[in-house]
Each structure stands twice: as C-alpha cells, then as structure tokens.
Structure 1
C-alpha cells in the first residue's frame, strides 16, 4: 500500500482519483443498478448496522465508489427478503482465492459466452446454476 492511499484519503493524488474514476466507470459498464447502504437497509426493512453486518459477514458485497467514496452494493445482490442466498458461497470462494471486492463484482457481472442464461455468473447464479458457477469460481480463484 502506498503512503497516500486514495481508498483511505478521498482527496488523494489526482492520478489515484483518475484511477478510481476509471474503476468506477468499468464497474458501471457491467453493473446497471447500485444501492447505497441506506437504500439496501430500506429495501430489506432493517437498520444500517444490520446491512453493515451483512457486508462484514460476506452475505453482501459492496465497493467504494463515487466522489464520496461511499459503499455501493449491486442491486442484484439483495431483495426485500434479504441478501440472495446463492451469492454467499461463491463470494467466499472468490474472496478466499484473493479477489478484492471490486474484482469479485467484476467477475460476477462479466459476460462469458460459455454460460447459459444472460451469460454472466450472477445471471446463472440467480437462475439456479449455483454448482456450475461455484466450480468456475474455484477454477478462477485457485
């Protein structure tokens, strides 16, 4: 980690801000809808601290983005009933393999023409192809 890390200092050097903006843009091209922590809490009818607990326990995954460096959660990860249960095991495999949360989100939303459904790992997970996606996650992570 550099002595001036833009993840902890939102007013970091211009090059770091440009890199963060480029990372935001690349994720925005993949993830069409994001939720803030308050929006995820409201959707589920729970407190902000409960959502933070879901993030800590890896039931949800969020990435810091935007000018305020706020945590954003892909909307596909959560419903009014809570975090999507299909997600956690795959998230754990990818995280255990060393992927950052941003890399993990990118992997889940990147199109792969060899996959059924919409061609993304998240689309396949939501369509019930959990075993195939976890197998691919293990191959990717290890």
Structure 2
C-alpha cells in the first residue's frame, strides 16, 4: 500500500496541524497526497486525551475517517486543531458527503485536493475563514 516515515519535526506545510508523534506519508494513499502527516488511532487518542475506544467510536460513527496502511489505521493530522481537538467542521463535511453516497477515498481526495476557487485545499480552508464555504459546497455536492 503506502509508505509512511516517522517524523516529529515541525513542518511548514503542516501549519495548523498539531505536532504529535506521527508519520509523514511518503506516497499518495486513498486520496491523501504524499507529505501529509498521519496519526495512528493510539496517537489520536493521546493527542485528544481520550481512550482508544473513543477514537474507534468516532471512526465507526463516521465523525473521522482513516486510511489503512500495512494493516494499521491512520488518520490525517489536518483533521485536528492546534488546541488538540477535532476540527469542528471535519465531522460535518464527512457526514454531508458520506450521506450523499461518497466513499471515504473520494471524501479524502476532495479534502486534500487544491481548489483554485477557494483558493487552496478544502481541508486547509476548514481551519480558517472559508470553513463555512467548504461546508456549503459539500452540501451542494452531496445532493447533486
């Protein structure tokens, strides 16, 4: 599948991403481009200060989505804020698109692909003043 490498350094591409033990994706996987920081389920539990079963519940309830690499689930670090919380817009976008029939890989591809009309990637816009625009677009795409 994909390769990940351990990297705990500060990365200018990950501004707004919590710096926790994580891995940087070295090749694209399921809609996530190379260079993205990924966290395992235990890493996310540590980041949020909760038990692992809480993160599994978030995955099962589709509040978060993960990719599987070598049998291990990885969650994009961009789903979280610097305050070590789930970005409040991420579960909503996932839910809107999933309810519209989108597969997880398609949702990740949408979130991590640059959109000149935003400008930038929707996942980055969810951390700024364009978050509501991304939500509006996700809602429109889900019903079309």
Q: TM-score, normalised by structure 1?
A: 0.72
2:114 to 92, 111, 133: 111
- Give the equivalent residue in structure 1 for 2:9: none
Give the match for residue 85 of structure 2: 82
Which runs of 5 or more residues in structure 1 are unaligned? 1-21
Kindly name which structure, 1 or 2, has the bigger radius of gyration based on alpha carbons: 1
Q: Secondary structure at the match of 1:92?
A: helix
With 88-97 and 126-135 compared, the bigger mean Cα shift is at 126-135
More helix by share: 1
Cα 1:92–1:25 change in 2 (3 A) is closer
Aligned to 2:18: none
2:95 to 86, 92, 96: 92
Check if 1:36 corresponds to 2:47: no
Tell whether the 8 Å contact from 1:59 to 1:83 is kept in structure 2 after alignment.
Answer: no
Equivalent pairs counted in the alignment come to 116
1:53 aligns with 2:53: no
Offset at residue 25 of structure 1 (A): 7.2
Measured on the aligned residues, the alpha-carbon RMSD in Å equals 2.1
The equivalent of 2:8 in structure 1 is none
What is the rounded CA distance, in whole Å, between the counterparts of 2:87 and 2:67 in structure 1? Answer: 17
Is this contact kept in 2: 1:90–1:137, CA < 8 A? yes
* Shift in Å, 1:125: 1.2
* Aligned-partner SS, 1:98: coil
Residues in 2 aligned to 1:133 and 1:44: alpha-carbon distance in whole angstroms = 24
Q: How does 1:12-31 map to 2 (within 5 A)?
A: 24=29, 27-29=32-34
Asked if the contact 1:36/1:71 (under 8 Å) is kept, the reply is yes
Instruction: Give the superposition deviation at 1:26.
Output: 5.4
